[in-house]
Amino acid sequence: MTHAAPQTPSLETRDLTIRFGGHVAVNAVSCAFRPGELTVIVGPNGAGKTTYFNLISGQLKPSAGQVLKDGRDITRLAPSGRARAGIGRAFQLTNLFPQLSVLENIRLAVQARAGVGRQFLRRAAAHTELTRKAEGYLEATRLTGIAHQTAAALPHGDQRKLEVALLLAMEPDVFMFDEPTAGMSLDHAPDVLELIAEIKKDTRRTVLLVEHKMDVVRALADRIIVLHNGTLLADGKPDEIMNSDLVREVYLGKRGAA
Ligand SMILES: Nc1ncnc2c1ncn2[C@@H]1O[C@H](COP(=O)(O)OP(=O)(O)OP(=O)(O)O)[C@@H](O)[C@H]1O
């Protein structure tokens, strides 16, 4: 990446702002994200990280500013339209069917992405491209051994992996993860982090991660941006950001409200 010509950002926010009453939760955040780059968004509690994510994926509409996908203004699109535009947010999926098996869930997601009708799938089920694709996602997320278990019966760690498989099946080019290991036992967390590391290996993909745990940040980040009181306080390489006095101040709580 280092000496490559600057690519068009796959995702960009321009002066993105949202107010809740008098409170500005995200304040004129301008930032561009490029393929091949995993950016971790850090900041103290209440900094605006999840709100920024919600503005990008469309759960919230901004008070001002824009969200651009490959240069196209998608600010007015609903979350479904943004998903179709290639923005995939993990762990917020509406396409998980708890009563269906792991494989059926993934196959339906592949089918939805391919845009084919049920009729087609029924006729061609066993050996179609779709089934092969679904099996590929099963393998990629190491769920093959439990392909026929009901989604609802899975332990939390495996459910998260299934959600990653469903996200992969949507074939987004922007992947968003909000605290991917939150609420996970220590033995399951590495699995999901490994999947994210694999996702980022494909340099056509842009990955955004909100994360508090510094060991996770260190392991995955190509770049870190710091939000503080809704504003973009710092943006740079992990070493630079982690050794910055300003950022330390923010984390130690010495820097007051703006
Ligand atoms: N729907 C809402 N209505 C009013 N205030 C909100 C709403 N959503 C978020 N906020 C406020 O916006 C600010 C930013 O919240 P946000 O959840 O984005 O922070 P965060 O950086 O993700 O924090 P955490 O690390 O604790 O998850 C907070 O002060 C929060 O109370």
Q: What CATH number does the domain containing 202 carry?
A: 3.40.50.300
Domain that holds residue 13: 1-95+172-258
Looking at the fold, whether 178 and 257 belong to one and the same domain comes out as yes
Atom of ligand 1 nearest to the CA of 51: 18
For the cut 90, the answer to whether the pLDDT of residue 188 exceeds it is no
Phi/psi region, residue 10 (left: phi>0; alpha: psi -120 to 50; beta: rest), is alpha
User: Looking at residue 89, what is its pLDDT?
Assistant: 93
Phi/psi region, residue 65 (left: phi>0; alpha: psi -120 to 50; beta: rest), is left
Measured at the alpha carbon of residue 192, what is the angle toward residues 160 and 185, in degrees to the nearest 5?
Answer: 75
Looking at the fold, whether 86 and 102 belong to one and the same domain comes out as no
Looking at the fold, whether 234 and 178 belong to one and the same domain comes out as yes
CA distance 144 to 165: 11
Atom of ligand 1 nearest to the CA of 53: 18
User: Looking at residue 255, what is its pLDDT?
Assistant: 55
Among 169, 192, 208, which residue terminates a domain? 169
Mean pLDDT of 132-136: 91
Q: What is the pTM of this model?
A: 0.90
- Strand, coil or helix: 47: coil
Looking at the fold, whether 177 and 258 belong to one and the same domain comes out as yes
Atom of ligand 1 nearest to the CA of 60: 1
Phi/psi region, residue 229 (left: phi>0; alpha: psi -120 to 50; beta: rest), is left
For 191-236, the pLDDT digits (tens) are: 889 999 999 999 999 999 999 888 889 899 999 999 999 999 999 9
Tokens coding 241? 């950001």
Looking at the fold, whether 137 and 216 belong to one and the same domain comes out as no
Among 151, 169, 187, which residue terminates a domain? 169
Looking at the fold, whether 192 and 256 belong to one and the same domain comes out as yes
Looking at the fold, whether 30 and 103 belong to one and the same domain comes out as no
Among 117, 141, 169, which residue terminates a domain? 169
Looking at the fold, whether 85 and 193 belong to one and the same domain comes out as yes
% of the chain residues with pLDDT over 90: 65
Output the CA–CA distances (angstroms, integers) from residue 73 to 13, 26, 61, 80, 84, in the order listed: 10, 19, 13, 15, 14
Tokens coding 168? 């992969």
Mean pLDDT of 154-160: 88
Ligand 1 centroid–CA 26 distance in Å is 9
Tokens coding 254? 């010495």
Looking at the fold, whether 90 and 101 belong to one and the same domain comes out as no
User: Looking at residue 199, what is its pLDDT?
Assistant: 95
Looking at the fold, whether 91 and 42 belong to one and the same domain comes out as yes
Q: Residue 1's pLDDT band (boundaries 50, 70, 90)?
A: very low
Q: What is the ipTM of this complex?
A: 0.96
Q: What is the distance of C-alpha 19 from the center of its chain? A: 23
Average pLDDT for the chain? 88
CA distance 135 to 246: 47
**Residue among 18, 20, 61, 216 whose CB has most ligand 1 atoms within 8 A, to mutate:** 20
Using alpha carbons, select from 41, 30, 25 the residue that is nearest to residue 180: 41
For residues 66, 12, 200, 46, the Cα torsion angle rounded to the nearest 10 degrees is -60
User: Looking at residue 215, what is its pLDDT?
Assistant: 86
Using alpha carbons, select from 233, 238, 232 the residue that is nearest to residue 249: 233
% of the chain residues with pLDDT over 70: 89
Mean pLDDT of 129-153: 92
Q: Residue 120's pLDDT band (boundaries 50, 70, 90)?
A: low
Looking at the fold, whether 103 and 74 belong to one and the same domain comes out as no
Structural domains counted in the chain: 2
User: Looking at residue 8, what is its pLDDT?
Assistant: 83
